[in-house]
A and B are shown apart, each in its own frame.
Chain A
Amino acid sequence: MMRASRWWVVLAALATVGLGACAALLSSSKAPRTGDRILFSHKVHAENDLECVTCHEDVIDSKTLVGMALPKEEKCLECHEEDKTAGKCDKCHALPKTPGSYPPREPRVEISHQAHVPRAKEECSKCHARLPEPRVAAARPTMGTCRGCHEHEQDFSQGACVRCHSDLSRYPLKPVSAFSHQGNYVRQHGPAARSSADSCTKCHEQTFCADCHARTAPVPIELRFPEKVLRDFIHRADYRTRHTLEARAEPALCNRCHGQSFCTSCHTAQNLTPTALTPRSPHPQGYSFPGANSHARDARRDIVNCAACHDQGARSICIDCHKVGGVGGNPHTPSWLSRHDHDEIRRNGMCGYCH
C-alpha cells in the first residue's frame, strides 16, 4: 500500500499549478481585445504633406517604446471627425462592428526616440525605411542600422545586448554567422557553449538547457517532444539497441550527463550486475582469468564500459582479485607510479580498498 505521505508529491504539484493559475488570473489584462486592426496608410498621409510628428507627437519626448508613441483616436478625429459621425468606421477599423484600439505589443527593443530624433535631424526615414500600410508590414530598422553608430558597434562587440534588446530569451533572433545553429547543432553546441555561455544566455534561459542537461529531468527529451522530427536528438528511436555501440564509440559522451550509477541502475534490473537478484554474466567463458579471452585488454581499452556494471565502490568485484596479495596482480598502468607516490595510500581512502 502506498504511503500516505507520498500523496504530498501530487498535492505539491497541484498546489503549484493552482498558484500559477492564480497568478495568471490576477495579472491578466482586463482590457477587452476585439481582434481589430487599425487600417492606416502612411503613404496617403505623407502625400498630403503631413509630418511624422503631426500624428506621432509624443515621439520626440519618448524614452521607451512603451505605447509606441502611437496617436490616440482623438488625434485622428482632428481630421476625420466627419467620417466617424457618418458611421464610416470601416475606413479605419478592420472590424468596424467590434472596434478596438491597437493590439497590445510588448517592446522588444530599448530605444529612446528623444535621444535619436535630434541625431537623425528629424529624418525618420534614416531608420524607418518602409512604413506599414494596411496590407504591407513595416520594415523594422535592421540591427545593421543601429550598429552604424559607433556607440552601438561597441555595445555589440562587448555583448551588451540588453542595452538595446529588452528580452532576447522571449524574442530570440535568428542566429547568424558565428552563432549559426545549422547542421547537427545538438551535437555541436557543446564546444561553442563552453566559451560562449554568456552569449548563449542572451537568448536561452536555463529552463531551455535544463530540458536535457538537468540531472533531475524526469523523462528524456525524445519522449517529451516526439513531434520534433527535425531535431537530431541523441536518444531518438530504438536507442536501447544501439546504446552499447554509441557508448563504445564515445565513452566520455555518456559520462558527461549520466555517470556510471545511471548505467548500473538499469543493468541491475537486467540482471547484468553482480548486485542483481539473479545475476548472469554477459561475458565469454574464461573472461575472468588470464588468457586470450581475458578481461584485462578490454579494461585497459574501455574502462568506462566495465564501470557501467561493476562500480560498486569498495564492493566492486575487481578488488577481490586485484587487491594487494590477490591473484589478479597489480592493475595499475605502467605510468601510474610516476604520478602517484606511495604516500597517497595513506592520504586517499580509496586506495585502502586494495592496499
Chain B
Amino acid sequence: MCRERWAALALGSWLLAQPARGDTIDFEATTLLAGRADPRDGQLHTVVPMLETVSGRASAIKNPWLCDLEVVLQMWGEIDPGDPRDDRFSSGDVDLGYAAATLARGRVALRAGRQLIQGGAARMLQLDGGNVQVRVRRFGLQGFAGVPVTPRFGVDRGDGAAGARVSYRASFESELGLSFIHVADDGRVARQDLAVDGRWAPHRSLLMSGLVLWSIAEERLAELDTRFSLIPSSKLELSVDVRRTAPDLFLPLNSIFAVFAEERRDEVGSTLVLSASPALRLQADYHALGQDSGTGHRAGGKLTLMPGRARRGSVGVQSRVLRLPDHDGYTELRLFGALPLGATGFVTGDVAGYLLEAPINGQDGSLSGQVSAGRGFGRWRGVVSGLAAVTPFAERHFEVMARLVYGFSTRIREDRP
C-alpha cells in the first residue's frame, strides 16, 4: 500500500477521534460480508470480501474562530481471503475526509480535505484539496483546487484540477451559473470545459433546468442537457428532456483515443409519474436515441402498489425495453416487493428477467432472483440477502451478503428541560 494511502488512513483515524469534542455526533459502522462466484473467461473464481466501513460526522463543533465547524470522515478497509480479481488480499481507502466551516455569518464556506465537488462543469469530482464558496445576497462564487482522487481499479485521473463557478440565485428554485474546470495530467490538458447551467421556476408547477458544457480545448459541445417539468399537483409530474452528448469528449483529452472520433449522441424523451392514489403509483417513460449508427429507443413502465395505511409495504412490476440502432438490445421484466415485519423488520424480494436481442455466449436470456431480510435491534441493524441467477456468463450463479450496521447519533449538549 502506498505511503499516501497510509497517511490518509492515519489522518482518518485521528479525525474520527475528534467527534468526541463535537456538539453533535453521527457515527455509523458497517460490517459487510459477501460471497459470490466471479466468472472470468469461463472459469469461476470465489470472491469473499469482508468489508468494514466507518462513517462519522461531528458538527457544530464549538470553537472561538469558525462557525458551523464540522469534521466528516468516511473510510473503509477490506480483506478478501478468496480469489479477488486484482490479487490483493487487503485494501482500504478514505472516501471522504474533510473539515468544513463558515465565516462571516455563513457567507463564506470553507472545506478542506478529500471531498466531492458538485455542480456546473465539475459534474461530481472527487478531490483532495480545498473548496471556497462565497455567497453575498443573490450572488455566489465558488473556487476549488486540488488533486483528483485515483479511482479504485483505475489509474490516476490527473495531477491537478482547478475550477470556479459564479452564480446568480433569483429564488430558491431558480439559479444561473457559469463555471470552468481545468484538469491536467502529466503536464497535458486532460479536461478543459466551460459550462452554463441553470434552473428556472417561473411558476411552482413549472421547472426548467439545463446545462451546456463546452470543451474549450476541442472547441466542441461536450454536453447539452435540458429538462422541462410540469408538476400541476403532487399526484402528477410530466417532464420532457432533450440531451446531446459527445461521448468521445468524456475520455481524457490526453488519451490516444481522443483523436480518433467526433461522436454525437442525441436523446429526446418524456417521463410521466402519476400517483393515482396514495397506494398506487405509475411511472412511464420513452426516449428516442439518435446515434451516428441510427436511431434507437428506450422505454419503460413501473407500477407500484403500496397497500395498508402506513404504506410500509410495497409490491410492483417493472418493464424496460432498450433497442439499439444495430438491432441489439434487451427487454426486462421485473417483479419486486417489500413486506414489513413488526416495527423494524422486513423481507424483500426481487426477480428480474432479461430477453436479449442478440445472444451472448449462445444464451438469449438472463434470470435472477434475490431475497433480503433485515431487522433493527436498537442501535444495530442487520440484513442478510441471497441471490440466484442464470446468466450467459454462468449457468448457476449465487451470491450471499450479510450486513451489520451499528449507528448512533447524539448531542453533547443536553436538551432536557
Q: Nearest-CB distance from A146 to chain B (Å)?
A: 14
Interface pair B261/A299, CB less than 8 Å apart: yes
At the interface, yes or no: B143 with Cβ under 8 Å from chain A? no
B372 in complex: contacting residue of A210, A217, A227, CB < 8 Å: A227
CA distance A162 to B137 in the complex (A): 14
A182 in complex: contacting residue of B95, B133, B171, B273, CB < 8 Å: B273
Provided the pairs A195-B120, A195-B177, A258-B151 are in contact, do residues A106 and B415 lie with their beta carbons within 8 angstroms? yes
Interface pair B338/A241, CB less than 8 Å apart: no
Which A residues lie within 8 Å of B166 (CB)? none
Q: Nearest-CB distance from A138 to chain B (Å)?
A: 17
Interface pair B95/A191, CB less than 8 Å apart: no
Provided the pairs A184-B283, A339-B218 are in contact, do residues A260 and B209 lie with their beta carbons within 8 angstroms? no
CB proximity to B under 8 Å, residues A54-76: 66-68, 70, 72
Interface pair A23/B415, CB less than 8 Å apart: no
Provided the pairs A23-B25, A102-B416, A215-B154 are in contact, do residues A265 and B85 lie with their beta carbons within 8 angstroms? yes
A20 in complex: contacting residue of B54, B367, B417, CB < 8 Å: B54
Q: Nearest-CB distance from A134 to chain B (Å)?
A: 19
Which B residues lie within 8 Å of A162 (CB)? 68, 106
At the interface, yes or no: B152 with Cβ under 8 Å from chain A? yes
Which A residues lie within 8 Å of B116 (CB)? 206, 209-210, 213-214
Which A residues lie within 8 Å of B51 (CB)? 218-219
CA distance A31 to B413 in the complex (A): 12
CA distance A268 to B371 in the complex (A): 32
Interface pair A210/B330, CB less than 8 Å apart: no
B95 in complex: contacting residue of A16, A19, A216, CB < 8 Å: A216
Q: Nearest-CB distance from A66 to chain B (Å)?
A: 5
Closest to B152 in A: A216
At the interface, yes or no: B46 with Cβ under 8 Å from chain A? no
At the interface, yes or no: B29 with Cβ under 8 Å from chain A? yes
At the interface, yes or no: B296 with Cβ under 8 Å from chain A? yes
Q: Nearest-CB distance from A280 to chain B (Å)?
A: 8
Closest to A6 in B: B90
B153 in complex: contacting residue of A23, A29, A262, CB < 8 Å: A262
At the interface, yes or no: B268 with Cβ under 8 Å from chain A? no
Interface pair A9/B337, CB less than 8 Å apart: no
Q: Mark B274-316, 1 if CB is under 8 A from A, else 0.
A: 0100000001010001011100101000101000000000101
Closest to A241 in B: B366
At the interface, yes or no: B180 with Cβ under 8 Å from chain A? no
Provided the pairs A22-B20, A194-B119, A261-B154 are in contact, do residues A224 and B260 lie with their beta carbons within 8 angstroms? no
Provided the pairs A158-B169, A229-B348 are in contact, do residues A238 and B219 lie with their beta carbons within 8 angstroms? no
Interface pair B227/A191, CB less than 8 Å apart: yes
Q: How many A-B Cβ pairs are below 8 Å?
A: 458
Which A residues lie within 8 Å of B403 (CB)? 224
At the interface, yes or no: A46 with Cβ under 8 Å from chain B? no
Q: How large is the interface on B (under 10, 10 to 19, 20 to 34, 35 or more residues)?
A: 35 or more
Interface core residue of A5, A217, A262, A349 (most chain B CB under 10 Å) = A217
Q: Mark A244-286, 1 if CB is under 8 A from B, else 0.
A: 0110111110011011111001100111100000001000000
CA distance A11 to B135 in the complex (A): 43
At the interface, yes or no: A327 with Cβ under 8 Å from chain B? no
Q: Mark A344-355, 1 if CB is under 8 A from B, else 0.
A: 000011100110
B92 in complex: contacting residue of A13, A31, A224, A313, CB < 8 Å: A13
Q: Mark A296-335, 1 if CB is under 8 A from B, else 0.
A: 0001111110110011011010110000000000011101
Interface pair B56/A177, CB less than 8 Å apart: no
Interface pair A227/B138, CB less than 8 Å apart: no
Which B residues lie within 8 Å of A198 (CB)? 119, 133, 135, 140, 175
Q: Nearest-CB distance from A340 to chain B (Å)?
A: 9
Which A residues lie within 8 Å of B118 (CB)? 193-194, 197, 200-201, 209
CA distance A213 to B334 in the complex (A): 26
CA distance A200 to B140 in the complex (A): 15
Provided the pairs A6-B1, A178-B207, A249-B296 are in contact, do residues A261 and B16 lie with their beta carbons within 8 angstroms? no
CA distance A251 to B229 in the complex (A): 25
Interface pair B54/A226, CB less than 8 Å apart: no
B169 in complex: contacting residue of A24, A159, A176, A178, CB < 8 Å: A159
Interface pair A191/B416, CB less than 8 Å apart: no
Which B residues lie within 8 Å of A219 (CB)? 32, 34, 49, 51
Closest to A319 in B: B256
Using CB atoms and an 8 Å cutoff, list the residues of chain A in contact with chain B.
2, 5-10, 12-17, 19-20, 22-24, 26-29, 31, 66-68, 70, 72, 101-102, 104-107, 156-160, 162, 167, 170, 176-180, 182-184, 188, 190-201, 205-207, 209-210, 213-219, 223-224, 226-227, 229-230, 232, 236-238, 240-242, 245-246, 248-252, 255-256, 258-262, 265-266, 269-272, 280, 299-304, 306-307, 310-311, 313-314, 316, 318-319, 331-333, 335-336, 339, 348-350, 353-354
- The contact sample of 30 A-B pairs, CB cut-off 8 A, is A6-B90, A13-B52, A13-B77, A20-B19, A22-B20, A23-B17, A23-B25, A27-B20, A27-B412, A156-B172, A177-B207, A179-B173, A184-B283, A191-B241, A195-B167, A218-B51, A224-B403, A226-B370, A241-B354, A241-B356, A245-B329, A250-B245, A251-B247, A251-B250, A258-B151, A272-B41, A301-B292, A307-B257, A318-B260, A333-B260
With A240-B393, A270-B41 known, 13 other A-B pairs at CB within 8 A are A9-B92, A19-B16, A20-B27, A106-B415, A170-B24, A194-B211, A198-B135, A215-B157, A237-B370, A238-B367, A241-B391, A310-B257, A336-B259
